[in-house]
Amino acid sequence: MTERKKLYIATFGCQMNDYDSLTMRRLLSGTHVTVADPSEADLIIINTCSIREKAENKLYSLAGRYRALKKKRPDLKIAITGCVAQQEGRRLLDRMPYVDIVLGPQGIYSLPGILSREAAGGRVCLNRLDPDFSIPVVRAAEPPDNPVRASVTIMQGCDNFCTYCIVPYVRGREISRPEEDIMTEVRQAVEHGAREIVLLGQNVNSYGRRAGGRPVKGNPGFASLLEKVNKVPGVERLRFTTSHPRDLDEAAISCYGRLESLCEHIHLPVQSGSTAVLKRMNRHYSREEYLEKIAMLRKACPDITITTDIIVGFPGETGEDFLQTMSLLEEVRYDQIFVFKYSPRPGTPASGFDEQVAADVKTSRIEAVLRLQEKIGLEQYARMEGQICEILVEDVGKAGDGFMQGRTRGNHVVHFRGGRELLGSLVDVRIVRACKHSLRGELVQ
Ligand code: SAH
Ligand code: SF4
Ligand code: F3S
């Protein structure tokens, strides 16, 4: 076998991009081996995100660094993939003469073909979005480096068109994957050592609604998919992300507490506590309707961990609207939140709305949200002190030598003293201390 070339991938953005990066490694595994240092690579891929301006800018700063590498080694190939590639297309080739390949999220599957023709030279851009596209099943020749948790994409794209969001433009129309492809990937992941499966999509609760213009065979729906994955031998833990509050239905809620592997956690992005703002965001639910879903979840699963995303400074957000977001945080008491300053994205409706909120107002609002959540989060985490929790050991610990880390079923990160041999196992840990975003535990023998 000829020696494999060296591949380096820098990944930004959400789990859909992590999944795509893994797919590219798999697609190229016959010809390329992944390295940790970009200066050694023959091929560098920057898998980009354009959800906020800051994310997009990361591409431009990083690409400058790789340009310097290419000056020293002209044979180096540089590819840009992901959502900025989709959004900007050929403009990236025009702007960055040292970039060889630009591929949107659907284009990555052509990578092996493009590279095998590379001798012919020429620069390539693929960023057409095919509404009938279906995600191929890419078999992995070897297990990933850390196989404990595996993500499986169940749908791509999004049809919701929240007025601030670029995703529907860069990932295209919502298309669900056929159930048999999902099950094939789940089984493969388990064979490779996965104990936890995370089902991925921008709007998982509408799974089955559309696949290439048609409903998925028999339109099984999301709850039925959860039931099937739950039954796969070896799947100890099951999670999914992301849910849209409007589409989260009773059938899915009733899976909590009923399906043994379904973990007691939901990430349910609210975005704002003000019904008026939610309306302008095109979210299709009111504050009250969101709170009803929370109540239903807590009824089905009293211990459920709830996390969310918040945007501050959406166009027209008044001081009063903002206070409603603050009061919602106190009412729901999330364990963790992700909060963002509104960032206008090209071509989205909200970027053209009047009454854009001033930068300093966004800053003071995000700071206020973070201060409040720090207090609530600590109180939520402190409630766990003294409890004995089941932990899936996922990694060597970042808390120092001799530490391992894992997660509770409620998705709290726990650091504890233990050896590497525990990697991938389920252990019981007593929670001894709550920190800001994690817990400290002790193994229970
Ligand atoms: N599909 C998921 C998440 C999509 S992106 C959902 O519907 O919730 C992840 C988060 O980024 C969003 O929940 C939102 O809080 C944030 N986000 C998206 N567009 C944004 C923008 N233009 N400015 C600031 N935050 C944004
Ligand atoms: Fe974006 Fe809204 Fe779709 Fe989420 S549901 S990806 S926020 S358009
Ligand atoms: Fe970013 Fe694209 Fe995901 S814009 S958040 S990488 S879908």
Do 81 and 45 touch, CB atoms closer than 8 A?
Answer: yes
Environment class of residue 34 by beta-carbon count within 10 Å: exposed (0-12), middle (13-18) or buried (19+)?
A: middle
pLDDT band for 118, please (50, 70, 90 cuts): low
User: Would you say the CB of residue 343 lies under 6 angstroms from ligand 1?
Assistant: yes
Residue 217, pLDDT score: 67
φ, ψ of residue 176 in degrees (nearest 5): -85, 145
Strand stretches in 371-412, DSSP E: 388-396, 403-407
Instruction: State the ligand closest to the CA atom of 13.
Output: 3
Ligand 2 atom index nearest CA of 168: 8
Residue 132, pLDDT score: 83
Residue 345 and residue 356: Cα distance in Å, rounded?
13
CA of 416 to the centre of ligand 3 (A): 33
Of residues 374 and 219, more confidence is placed in: 374
CB atoms under 10 Å from CB of 442, counted, come to: 16
- Supply 392's token pair: 């899936």
Residue nearest to atom 1 of ligand 2 (CA): 165
CA of 51 to the centre of ligand 3 (A): 6
Domain with CATH 3.40.50.12160 in the chain: 5-126
Which residues are CB-neighbours of 443 under 8 A, at least 6 positions away? 416, 417, 418, 427, 428, 429
Residue 210, pLDDT score: 74
CA of 83 to the centre of ligand 1 (A): 14
Residue 328 and residue 44: Cα distance in Å, rounded?
44
Q: For residues 118-137, give the mean pLDDT.
A: 83
Ligand 1 atom index nearest CA of 269: 8
Domain with CATH 2.40.50.140 in the chain: 388-443
Residue 131, pLDDT score: 84
Ligand 3 atom index nearest CA of 84: 4
**CATH number of the domain located at residue range(s) 388-443 in this protein:** 2.40.50.140
- Homologous superfamily of 5-126: Methylthiotransferase, N-terminal domain (3.40.50.12160)
User: Would you say the CB of residue 293 lies under 6 angstroms from ligand 1?
Assistant: no
Domain with CATH 3.30.750.210 in the chain: 131-263
Instruction: State the ligand closest to the CA atom of 104.
Output: 3
Residue 49 and residue 51: Cα distance in Å, rounded?
6
pLDDT, tens digit (0-9, with 9 covering 90-100), for 15-69: 999 999 999 999 999 999 999 999 999 999 999 999 999 999 999 999 999 999 9
- Cα 114 to Cα 31, 120, 249: the distances in Å are 13, 10, 43
Decide yes or no: CATH 3.30.750.210 for domain 131-263: yes
Instruction: State the ligand closest to the CA atom of 158.
Output: 2
Q: Which of 34-48, 199-213, 244-258 has the lowest mean pLDDT?
A: 199-213
Q: For residues 334-343, give the mean pLDDT.
A: 98
Residue 117, pLDDT score: 79
Query: 3-state DSSP helix/strand/coil percent for the chain, to nearest 5?
Result: 35, 25, 40
pLDDT averaged over every residue in the chain: 94
Residue 162 and residue 349: Cα distance in Å, rounded?
9
Strand stretches in 83-161, DSSP E: 101-103, 124-126, 149-153, 155-156
- Cα 425 to Cα 374, 405, 439: the distances in Å are 31, 11, 18
CB atoms under 10 Å from CB of 216, counted, come to: 21
- Asked whether residue 393 carries a pLDDT value surpassing 70, the answer given is yes
Query: For 45-66, b where at least 16 C-beta lie within 10 A, e where not — what string?
Result: bbbbbbbbeebbebbeebbeeb
- Cα 267 to Cα 52, 138, 245, 402: the distances in Å are 20, 28, 10, 31
pLDDT band for 290, please (50, 70, 90 cuts): very high
- Asked whether residue 315 carries a pLDDT value surpassing 90, the answer given is yes
Which residues are CB-neighbours of 315 under 8 A, at least 6 positions away? 280, 342, 350, 353, 354, 355, 356, 357
- Asked whether residue 5 carries a pLDDT value surpassing 80, the answer given is yes
Bridge partners of 150, per DSSP, are 197
φ, ψ of residue 200 in degrees (nearest 5): -115, 145
Q: Which of 7-21, 246-260, 291-305, 396-410 has the lowest mean pLDDT?
A: 396-410
3-state secondary structure of 11: strand
- Asked whether residue 119 carries a pLDDT value surpassing 60, the answer given is no
Residue 116, pLDDT score: 86
Q: Which helix (H) or strand (E) holds 6?
A: strand 5-11
pLDDT, tens digit (0-9, with 9 covering 90-100), for 221-245: 999 999 999 999 999 999 999 999 9
Q: For residues 168-196, give the mean pLDDT.
A: 94
Q: For residues 414-418, give the mean pLDDT.
A: 95
User: Would you say the CB of residue 45 lies under 6 angstroms from ligand 1?
Assistant: no
Residue nearest to atom 8 of ligand 1 (CA): 269
Of residues 211 and 44, more confidence is placed in: 44
Which residues are CB-neighbours of 181 under 8 A, at least 6 positions away? 134, 135, 137
Residue 125 and residue 101: Cα distance in Å, rounded?
6
User: Would you say the CB of residue 244 lies under 6 angstroms from ligand 2?
Assistant: yes
pLDDT, tens digit (0-9, with 9 covering 90-100), for 353-367: 999 999 999 999 999
Do 410 and 265 touch, CB atoms closer than 8 A?
Answer: yes
Residue 363 and residue 357: Cα distance in Å, rounded?
10
Task: Say if strands 403-407 and 413-417 run parallel, antiparallel, or are unpaired.
Answer: antiparallel
- Asked whether residue 134 carries a pLDDT value surpassing 90, the answer given is no
Strand stretches in 116-252, DSSP E: 124-126, 149-153, 155-156, 175-176, 196-200, 237-241
Residue 248 and residue 410: Cα distance in Å, rounded?
19
Instruction: State the ligand closest to the CA atom of 269.
Output: 1
Of residues 314 and 401, more confidence is placed in: 314
- Supply 230's token pair: 């739950």
pLDDT, tens digit (0-9, with 9 covering 90-100), for 427-437: 999 999 999 88
Q: What angle do CA 147, 148, 151 make, to 5 degrees?
A: 75
User: Would you say the CB of residue 350 lies under 6 angstroms from ligand 2?
Assistant: no
CA of 294 to the centre of ligand 3 (A): 26
Do 312 and 341 touch, CB atoms closer than 8 A?
Answer: yes
